Structure 1
Amino acid sequence: MSGELVKPYDGVVVTGIGTMLPNTTTVGDFWNNISGGHSQVGPLTRFEGAAHGLPVHAAAELNDFDHRPYLPELRASHAAKYTREILIAMSAVEQARRDAGLATGDLDPRRVSLIMSSSRGPFAWWQQVLSGAREDGFADKGAMFRGLPGCAASLAAIYTGTQGLVTTVSNACVGGHQAIGLALNEIRSGAADAVLVGGHEFPIVPEVAKCYHATGSGVMSTEQEDPRRAVRPYNRDREGFALGEGSVVLCLERESTARARGARVYAEVLSAKSLNEAAHATTMDLTGKVTGALVHELLEDAGRHPEEVDYYCGHGTATYYNDIAETRALRALYPSRDDGELPPLSSNKPIYGHTFGIAGIINAAATSLMIHHQAIAPTINFTDPDPECDHDHVVEGLRPARLDLAVSLSFAFGSQTAVLALGAAR
């Protein structure tokens, strides 16, 4: 089948999900936290904010990670050369493969690809080495693995026997959706039967916090009293996001291949679109018209229409520009509707914080599970609506709903927007 053009009606489906996030090492954990509104944002312990002149007190930290239950065949001598971050990403890849039920020999390994997204790669390791916190950083040849952004993907490919395209995208918060778009193209072009696509992000270091703090107030949350309330998207008293970390990976397959082996299907990936507005470098279009037009293009590619969308999974960073941009995009998409009639829009950033390069992957995983369970996960910490954003954010808790079509939104520095359409399995 190599090189054969895949027929348009042969869909691309999500058959596996791997999650290595704070207090989340199974798909069940992930769905429980997302659907139940259980925030994993807690006190910041990785560094002392005040010591760095930062009014930052909360983060979603993944602590006490042991890779051995997830990578039982990885030799200890090899693992010793890798970083914690690489091992977490490898574990998420392997978990996605297992969740999909893909066994060795099920597919030609040359027709399986692995695509990851990370905005900063091994920055945490470089920070420790260059600051002198780790004196053994260059003590062995493992330094070559530890310092390269793409090595998490490469080493995961070696572990899983993946021999197709292996690469890593680095494009801030839109990288996750763009990685899925690349995966979609790999399968639709006939180059691959399956793609393990995901990301890894470990930004909880003072230098990253300083970057965002330098952009001004209202970007990083200063919440100290109750870290679980640090991220409050669409709320009148929002004050920004908290940093989050981990790795999430999806297994995408050509639908005919998945059905032939009896795989469980969470959702279908219908289309992915990206746009560089080539406008302001640190804000998105605030009229809503540009994002609305991109969603129109996305849905047209999928053969669908905005009136058919049942749910929007927001970028939802709890920053002023992001929140109003999403609301205005919905208004542009539905000009004849009152705010109370707009489709539901919710955010998972209050659960896992802002994870940048994997934010779009988390959205895709969460939306796939919502479609699978036919229920919409809530936006927590929404207690006093910003009048500009006073519409349906699913505040009452998990909402049973008919979900046939959903759209995920992501925005990034650099004037970039990326959107993803997912649908119910046929």
Structure 2
Amino acid sequence: MHFEAEPGTSEADDVVVTGIGVMLPNTTTVQSFWDNIAGGRPQVGALTRFTAEEAGIPVHAAAEIAAFDHRPFLPELRPAHSAKYSREILVTMSAVAEARRDAGLGHGDVDPRRLSVMLSSSRGPLSWWQSAIQGTDAEAFGDKGAMFRGLPGCPASLSAIYTGAQGLVTTVSNACVGGHQAIGLALRELRAGASDAVLVGGHEFPILPEVARCYLAMGGGVISAEADDPSRAVRPYSADREGFALGEGSVVLCLERASAARARGARVYAKVLSHRTMNEAAHPTTMDLTGKVTAGLIHDVLADAGRTAEEVDYFCAHGTATRYNDLAESQALRALYPERPDAQLPPISSNKPIYGHTFGVAGIINVAATSLMLHHQTLAPTANLSTIDPECDHDHVFEGARATDVDLAVSMSFAFGSQTAVVALGRER
């Protein structure tokens, strides 16, 4: 099929979310993702990948993907090829393929030279490197697949090969803001007219003792030690919070210019209005606790979209259930709305109790969840929140899914390295 080259596009042409691919614990469809997010159903459970006793660390909960079969999602992938790929690669390829399928983006709908794949991962294939270095996998270097399994960018590259994407293919690695930054790169690519569609997402598989030890070394209250009820391990904004649980998986969005999506009759979940990211150039592990820096960034991202803070109907939080993160987000809202009492701040919620902390995927999960909230006109709650920390006492969605009018939403993410990123999303009408 012949495709004509496209000229640059106007920034007035909206970028929209037309597809969502989800490979998370007990979640392989958009519907199951929405049911878990909106229903406040934690997929965090008892840690089985390793035991606290074996590792000698007080970590008992994680959001794990159990046995995974890629074949329903990648029917054209030959067994001889899949045998060389790691679980991380196959899960990510499945999420990319599902995002394209959910968007209804057929192979004749886009010039392959103008279809891009941009992913985010904070740590890449740690599990493979662990087994290879420790010698626990005798076959780690047994075939040419070792090159695939060991490179953090291979899930994106192999996904592009499978789906026929010949545009920009790359992987961002920037801790917990990487997902939002990948979306920002996708926006630039689409608005510059360099791509017609971008499959943008992330993959993370951090459930290893070594990763848990990194966070335990930072002191108490960073990674949850909950043992009695693993499903309640993550409790953002709660007076009894004790940190996050590790989560794994891959989530991918299909982003297109609205004109192209509408021309082919695609269903649109939401508009991606704008993105901004910044480095505070301050403390490497603690974000600004006055809230003023984050409030300024939110103000700027809304101005880019021609909107104001007064129009925001909802904030999708980073919500890690650590004291500094929770407090920083609450202070950011107070700084953004200095004239409002706490009870009148816009509603906020976190999905970390559902799927744990997925680092490089976290921002993608936020935007996927927020897109569905805009689509369904329903806010998803923060699960496990019962007694609100007085320092964070404002309008939390925690009573269950809240049906309401939502036109403008903001997704927030924070990361080590003094970094913050935000994405503004709007309702498709």
Q: TM-score, normalised by structure 1?
A: 0.99
Of 305-314 and 377-386, the range deviating more from structure 2: 377-386
- 1-structure distance, mates of 2:225, 2:49: 16
The equivalences for 1:190-201 within 5 A come to: 190-201=193-204
Shift of 1:5: 2.5
- 1-structure distance, mates of 2:251, 2:98: 9
- 2-structure distance, mates of 1:123, 1:303: 41
- Secondary structure in structure 2 of the residue aligned to 1:200: strand
Aligned to 2:223: 220
- 2-structure distance, mates of 1:311, 1:356: 22
Q: RMSD across aligned C-alpha pairs, in angstroms?
A: 0.8
Aligned to 1:154: 157
Aligned to 2:255: 252
Aligned to 2:25: 22
- 2-structure distance, mates of 1:406, 1:134: 46
Letter in 2 for 1:204: I
- 2-structure distance, mates of 1:380, 1:156: 33
Aligned to 1:33: 36
Shift of 1:9: 1.6
Superposed CA offset, 1:155-175 (max 9, x none): 000000000000000000000
- 2-structure distance, mates of 1:296, 1:103: 38
Shift of 1:3: 6.4
Q: Contact conserved, 1:42 with 1:227, CA < 8 A, in 2?
A: yes
Aligned to 1:163: 166
- Secondary structure in structure 2 of the residue aligned to 1:350: helix
- 2-structure distance, mates of 1:3, 1:416: 35
Superposed CA offset, 1:249-281 (max 9, x none): 000001000000000000000001001000000
- Secondary structure in structure 2 of the residue aligned to 1:113: strand
- 2-structure distance, mates of 1:172, 1:14: 23
The equivalences for 1:23-172 within 5 A come to: 23-172=26-175
Letter in 2 for 1:325: A
Shift of 1:234: 0.2
Aligned to 1:179: 182
Q: Contact conserved, 1:114 with 1:153, CA < 8 A, in 2?
A: yes
- 1-structure distance, mates of 2:208, 2:134: 12
Shift of 1:404: 0.5
- 2-structure distance, mates of 1:215, 1:4: 50
- 2-structure distance, mates of 1:136, 1:8: 50
Choose the corresponding residue for 1:9, options 7, 12, 33.
12
Aligned to 1:389: 392
- 1-structure distance, mates of 2:388, 2:326: 11
1:297 equivalent in alignment to 2:300: yes
- 2-structure distance, mates of 1:309, 1:283: 26
Of 393-402 and 18-27, the range deviating more from structure 2: 393-402
Aligned to 1:418: 421
- 2-structure distance, mates of 1:133, 1:233: 37
Letter in 1 for 2:261: A
Shift of 1:2: 4.2
- Secondary structure in structure 1 of the residue aligned to 2:161: helix
Choose the corresponding residue for 1:335, options 334, 338, 360.
338
1:279 equivalent in alignment to 2:282: yes
- Secondary structure in structure 1 of the residue aligned to 2:148: helix
- Secondary structure in structure 1 of the residue aligned to 2:176: helix
1:407 equivalent in alignment to 2:410: yes
Letter in 1 for 2:39: G
Aligned to 1:369: 372
- Secondary structure in structure 2 of the residue aligned to 1:234: coil
- Secondary structure in structure 2 of the residue aligned to 1:172: coil
Superposed CA offset, 1:79-121 (max 9, x none): 0000011000000000000000011111101011000000011
Percent identity at matched positions?
Answer: 72
Of 357-366 and 385-394, the range deviating more from structure 2: 385-394
- 2-structure distance, mates of 1:110, 1:48: 47
Q: Contact conserved, 1:339 with 1:390, CA < 8 A, in 2?
A: yes
- Secondary structure in structure 2 of the residue aligned to 1:292: helix
- Secondary structure in structure 2 of the residue aligned to 1:181: helix
Letter in 2 for 1:254: R
Letter in 1 for 2:356: G
Q: Contact conserved, 1:89 with 1:246, CA < 8 A, in 2?
A: yes
- 2-structure distance, mates of 1:395, 1:173: 24
Of 125-134 and 304-313, the range deviating more from structure 2: 125-134
Superposed CA offset, 1:323-343 (max 9, x none): 000000000000000000000
Letter in 1 for 2:198: V
Shift of 1:46: 0.1
1:261 equivalent in alignment to 2:264: yes
Shift of 1:51: 2.2
Letter in 2 for 1:238: R
Letter in 2 for 1:361: I
Question: Structure 1: any 5+ residue segments left out of the alignment?
Answer: none
- Secondary structure in structure 2 of the residue aligned to 1:173: coil
Aligned to 1:270: 273
Superposed CA offset, 1:161-219 (max 9, x none): 00000000000000000000000000000101100000000000000001011011000
- 1-structure distance, mates of 2:145, 2:364: 28
- 1-structure distance, mates of 2:6, 2:418: 35
Aligned to 1:354: 357
- 1-structure distance, mates of 2:160, 2:107: 13
- 2-structure distance, mates of 1:393, 1:314: 10
